[in-house]
Structure 1
Amino acid sequence: LPYLVFRFSNVYGRYDNDIERMERVIPLFIRRIVRGEPVTVYGHEKVLDFTYVDDCVDGIVRGIERLLAGAVRDRTINLAYGQGNSLVRMAELIGEALGLPPQIIVEPAKRPGEVSYYVADISLARDLLGFAPQVSLAEGIRRAVAWSRAREAGR
């Protein structure tokens, strides 16, 4: 049975709002900054690879098309943006998009062994699928904030 396995990295964007069930950092920080509450970053140097949902969908579609065409099979492929950003920078971008200054508290890393630096290698996705993520963290944050505001206004 031909297959593809996709690995994603910190996907965010529309519908990423189930904070009660899943503590996801971008919607959590949006909510806290809107409320004027501080956001806590555990580990000043922590860097992660954030990927906007539309880029992931594009990669999945490309993968399925190539799998069905027989051009690629039996691979595990990273679908991510391929660049790292610090959590502090991400919080600053959310503040900029909201037009509100974030209150950022930086604490030591929360748990021993927690990932402090991760940037995905997307070379296979690029080479096999023609994958090229389009949405930078700054643009993705603007879109996520706009979606969040529209959702709150519609309640």
Structure 2
Amino acid sequence: MEEGIHQIIGQFLRFGQLILVPVCGLIFIAGIVLFFYAFKNPIRKRKAYLFSIFGGIGFLFFTYIPVVLFYFVFQKPKTPKEGQGIATIVDGFAPVNFHIYDFMIQLAEPFILFLFYVGVFFWLLSAKNPQIKRMGMGLVVGSPVLWLLVQHAMDIYKFFV
């Protein structure tokens, strides 16, 4: 009986994560994007602030609370055996990490190019609006810097580790 209840609660938490983690992540990203268009409008700034704060908190909450509940309420945390620890787990996932990194680069490069073109569009079409002109300049200048960071992220990581 108790095992069935644990399965139902586990499925409910899994279903909640499948829905609420992406929704809260999108709300967080929408809040960040709204900051770009808020300028001096206090209503838009407040909306962007609330979206970014509560979206980020919701994302982290719905990501980690089920894990904490599962390990500390439903079953006791497992102690590592002799010779096992976080280092062996991380080393075991090393081949998978490079595939994920390559996939992320394949997604990031077209997005950075799109941001560059959006920056050129804003910069050239903002005739007398200095805020939009500055935003376009920032995108045009920031896109190559972001591209260099994406290209050398693994080297930067290996330098510090």
Alignment TM-score > 0.5, same fold: no
TM-score norm. by structure 2 comes to: 0.24
TM-score norm. by structure 1 comes to: 0.25
Structure ranking higher in strand proportion = 1
Higher relative contact order (CA 8 A, sep 6+): 1
